[in-house]
Amino acid sequence: MTALDLQTASPTAPATAAPYRVSVEQYITFRKQGFLVVRGLVSPAEIAELRTHIEDLTQGRLPEQSGHLLANGDHSSGVATQELAAPPAHLSPEEKADFFLRIHMLHRHLELHERYLLHPRVLDVLQALIGPDILALQTMLFVKGPGKPGQGWHQDSYYIPTHPDSLCGAWIAIDDCDERNGAIWYASGSQHEPVYPPTSGYGFGDRNLEGISGVSGVSNPNDDENDLSPIADRYPHLLASATAGDVVFFGGHVLHRSKTNWTTDRFRRSFVGHYCNARSFTQWNDGDGSDLDPETMMANQRHILARGDTHLPFGAPRFGTPCAALLPAEERRRESEFAAMMMGDMESGMMGAMDADPTMVDDD
């Protein structure tokens, strides 16, 4: 196993938040290893805002918090999927800070989470990697305190299928993270693997492939009980060390994991968004399926069109964060319009390209 400090991008982002342009080298790195660390994409001021927000959230100080737990999950371990919850009032400030491990989908309840899901510079990178049309699907806030467990080998497309599969995560480091406090490990090259289906229960996989085997124990941190571990071991394990403000982008097929935060005094907090190309169909909506479109069984209408345009339904941001979903249809088309070209025979006998005009009538 190899730990790499992957310096693959620019220094700290300027306060002007100019659009970010992905280099050819970065594009190749993402395709080659399945992930890309973009240095300093989120500014120090924004990281400070996220830290203050997490402190208020974990202490139960947000006005949106009701003061009583609305979560489900194993509260004793802090593994809870919740909405606008507050930690139990009897806990000390230190215990409250350490209570939660991860919180899902708060962009549907809090303006700040919606704003970071639609962070312009994060979307700049996504447009280059999976765009140009981007649908924003999910947010997760990780508050991984000292001693908190990691998550075993898994593929994100196992949990969030899109068709065609264009899923991509964007992992914003709020704290410096390394091997000691639980940075993410990637099985570099495993993005070429199919998504392995579950032997039973929930999960998506490429069941139509001849010879594909089902898996159990996905995300189990015990390698002996996770059937993806032998597959991950076919590839180099690379550690994506990150400094606060760095963003790690990773595809839906690449196998990845985190390990226990072994420190006694360091958190590993991160804000994670998941996205797909807005031309991809998805039925995923972090729910029981009751809000799927009854005719198409589609959930695209529940997710936010962040950039570009699409022929599929989409949702709008609840808090009005600027994005493509709020633009008039004509402007969306204009922003995403590409020259229509077709390949045709040229008089020289070579293949060439020519404008494709749908109104043109062929005299022949």
Residue 229, SS3? helix
pTM, 2 dp: 0.88
CB-based burial of residue 294 (10 Å sphere; 0-12 exposed, 13-18 middle, 19+ buried)?
A: exposed
Alpha helices of the chain — where are they, by DSSP H? 24-33, 44-58, 93-97, 111-117, 120-130, 156-159, 229-232, 329-336
CA distance 196 to 207: 8
d(C-alpha 153, C-alpha 185), whole Å: 9
Q: In angstroms, what CA-CA distances link 61 with 64, 96, 285?
A: 9, 11, 28
pLDDT of residue 289: 75
* CA distance linking residue 221 with residue 129, whole number of Å: 29
Q: With the CA atoms of 307, 175, 240 and 129 taken in that order, what torsion angle do they form, in degrees rounded to the nearest 10? A: 10
The whole-number pLDDT of residue 362 equals: 58
For residue range 190-207, what is the model confidence (pLDDT) as tens digits? 999 999 999 998 899 999
* pLDDT at 298 (0 to 100): 96
pLDDT of residue 356: 62
Question: For the segment 157-173, what is each residue's pLDDT rounded down to a tens digit?
Answer: 999 999 999 999 999 99
Q: Smallest Cα–Cα separation from 301: which of 275, 283, 286?
A: 283
Nearest to 198 by CA among 161, 234, 227, 233: 227
Residues in the chain predicted with pLDDT less than 70, given as ranges, are: 1-17, 66-83, 335-346, 349, 354-364
Question: Domains of the chain: which residue ranges?
Answer: 2-336
> What are the tokens at 117?
């899901």
**187 - beta bridge partners?**
237
| CATH class, range 2-336 | mainly beta
| Residue 288 CB neighbour total at 10 angstroms | 7
| Secondary structure class of 260 (helix, strand, coil) | coil
Residues 6+ apart with CB under 8 A from 202: none
